[in-house]
Amino acid sequence: MELVIDLHKDKIPLFDLYSQTQCGSTKGARICGVHSKGFIIAKDQNCSVMGAHFKPGGSAAFFTIPGGELHNQIISLGELWQGLATELRDRLLEEPTIGTRFLTLEQILLSFMQPLDYHPVVDFALREFERLPTSPVSTVTSQIGFSTRHFNQLFRNRVGLTPKLYCRVRRLQKVLNLLNGKASIDWVEIAFTCGYFDQAHLIHDFRTFANCTPTEYVAKRGFHPCHVELSN
């Protein structure tokens, strides 16, 4: 989940992923929920944007809404923080330097931070999924002792995705990071390294989450591993 604050304009457009046409907007401060599909952002030469990228489940310290309710959603921060969202953006605009803006953002976030309602099984699962990234989800969940349905709900409320979907997204992110900067790619090796059954399995997840094939991704990848350039 991400907090995004546009310091150039107090409005950020929203786009339909498939038609690539604008379908609304949010205010200049917005929350991007955990996504398991792509979304479009506009390129603007005059943009000035800052924010915070929360660790998996970490947003629960700042927002009371269950993470799953923001799955694949982008909303104005004001819907969660009401008038305080405008105050946050205004205070950042008053700061004269990038450094003081980050200090101000940090101070404001710390003032909102509440003790996390830790659930040991969710924290255990997050640690184990990172330690065993290519292992089946059941390798971890079988150690928990909860029913699959109950644990899935606990995990989704905290993290925003079910355990299986979370691990699939993280696996593709690992692929993207391995591809970063590479011109010559051995797709079979990449698939094996990241825990895919075969190359077809890798292609399927690319289509599902990135809406493109691996070779299309390489041809269009942007400055960040999770970005692709869209045709005009």
Residue range 204-214, pLDDT digits in tens: 999 999 999 99
Report the share of the chain in percent with pLDDT over 70: 99
Residue 83 lies in a domain: yes
CB neighbour list of residue 166: distance below 8 Å, 6 or more residues apart: 56, 129, 155, 159, 160
Last residue of a domain, one of 112, 145, 168: 112
Residue 70 lies in a domain: yes
Interval 12-26: pLDDT, tens? 999 999 899 999 999
Last residue of a domain, one of 112, 135, 154: 112
Residue 14's DSSP bridge partners are: 24
- The single-letter DSSP state of residue 228 is B
Helices (H) and strands (E) in the chain, counts: 10, 6
Q: Is the pTM of this model over 0.85?
A: yes
Containing structural domain, residue 164: 120-220
| Single-letter code of the amino acid located at 188 | V
Whether 159 has a pLDDT exceeding 90, the answer reads: yes
How many domains, the chain?
2
12, 96: one domain: yes
Interval 52-104: pLDDT, tens? 999 999 999 999 899 999 999 999 999 999 878 999 999 999 999 999 999 99
Whether 45 has a pLDDT exceeding 80, the answer reads: no
105, 138: one domain: no
52, 144: one domain: no
